[in-house]
Amino acid sequence: MKLAVTAPDRLAVRTVPVPDPGDLIARLPHPTAMAWIRHGDGIVGWGEAARIPVPPGDDRFTTAAGRLADLFAAADIDDPVALPGTGPVAFGAFTFDPASPGSALIVPRRVLGRRDGRAWLTSIGAPDTPPEPHRPPAARTGRRGTGGALTPDDWKHAVATAVTRIRRGHLGKAVLARDLHAHAPEPIDARVLLRRLADRFPGCYTFSCDGMVGATPELLIRRAGGDIESLVLAGTTPRADDPAEDAARAARLAASPKDREEHRYAADMVRDALAPLCSSLHVPAEPELLRLPNLLHLASPIRGRLTGDRSVLDVVAALHPTPAVCGTPTGTAMRLIRELEGMDRGRYAGPVGWVDARGDGEWGIALRCAQLDGPRARLFAGCGIVADSDPAAELAEAGHKFGAMRHALHG
């Protein structure tokens, strides 16, 4: 079986240092963009040198890592820059549910990156591949919205059902998501959404891969050499325009038993998943506040040192799905999500990011995002449900979380 259906037998990869390219998003030549950017740094890619299909199943991360390793091991690589993200790189987006199809790894033909004041350009594929012409971004995006899989009342009923199950002791937490649809008069240009998201949420990880575009605040895992980092987010409240009210909301969030319980589930799971993989691991005793332009989150930054030669995809496999996007116990929460949400999430709340030939990479959880399909966009938002959750409050929270992509689509 061919490992990567669009790949030649042997990839030719050449990375060269380049002068500072300036705005990375502005350098993307056409709408089918790949990107991972925070505070202006990161990598962007375009074209497709190889696509690695990932079949559904509990072993999909292992399968993907093996197929990618085979592809990269056979490549002819010239990489004098030797930083995380140089040499051959694959962007990836995995479905939330292991039983769902649609996960993929894509190796672009061109990768432009900047990190710590150094910039590079990587060419992947045939050496004589001509550069792709630049097409200016289309200004118009989404204008008309429609409902999703469940009406607001039906979704509140689903939340109430989940609360009942939790109070009966069936599980500790479940995360329920909603979807909405938007339609544009012409195909939606991912670059326009990337530009608006990066400008409004510079501290988030703005991403694009295979039509999945968003700005996630949640870093699932970063690997650079043997060092790893993760940022756990769970527990949310909207920002207020008035500084005094904003401070009061932050204080209520920090003291909220419901939100602290939700956060503890997520942080404990990440600690338990990473501990067997690490020689050292630091987990803060108390969460801190992460302030975004539209939301406040309880956050726990976690750092560790890996044992052995583990790729970032090996760590993703150990972590996904976290209680922040699924619930706990994981199996029970996953079954409840399948029962109550009335939809397949696709890649929403799944891992999204990039991996290089050294096994370094950065992966987030696909939140505050939309899946693009020509002139259509499917938006997602989810909420953590625990015993004290109120359906109306959770519906309002989901509405706030839709705000990021609504802004990106409508400007």
Task: Write the pLDDT tens digit of every residue in 94-146.
Answer: 999 999 999 999 999 999 999 999 999 999 986 566 667 778 886 555 556 67
- Annotated active-site residue 218? The verdict is yes
Q: What are phi and psi of 83, to 5 degrees?
A: -115, 160
- What pLDDT, on a 0 to 100 scale, did the predictor assign at position 128? 61
Domain assignment of residue 135, yes or no: no
Q: What percent of the chain has pLDDT over 90?
A: 85
Average of per-residue pLDDT values in the chain? 93
Mean pLDDT of 335-348: 98
- Annotated active-site residue 132? The verdict is no
How many Å from the N-terminal Cα to the C-terminal Cα in the chain? Answer: 45
Whether pLDDT at 33 is above 80: yes
Which residue of the set 2, 48, 156, 173 is catalytic?
Answer: 173
Category of 116 on φ-ψ map: left (φ > 0), alpha (ψ -120 to 50) or beta = left
Whether pLDDT at 377 is above 60: yes
Domain assignment of residue 211, yes or no: yes
pLDDT band at 32 (very low <50, low <70, confident <90, very high): confident
Domain assignment of residue 366, yes or no: yes
- What pLDDT, on a 0 to 100 scale, did the predictor assign at position 147? 87
Tell me which residue of 266, 271, 240 sits closest to 253, measured CA to CA: 240
Tell me which residue of 91, 94, 90 sits closest to 57, measured CA to CA: 94
Beta strands in 311-410 (DSSP E): 327-328, 351-356, 361-365, 369-373, 376-385
Among 59-68, 141-150, 281-290, 306-315, name the one with the lowest average pLDDT: 141-150
Please state the domain count of the chain.
1
CATH for 321 = 3.60.120.10
Domain assignment of residue 272, yes or no: yes
Determine the 3-state secondary structure of 120 from DSSP: strand
Whether pLDDT at 311 is above 70: yes
Domain assignment of residue 236, yes or no: yes
The CA radius of gyration of the chain, in Å to the nearest whole number, is 21
Domain enclosing residue 227, as ranges: 12-128+146-410
Domain assignment of residue 136, yes or no: no
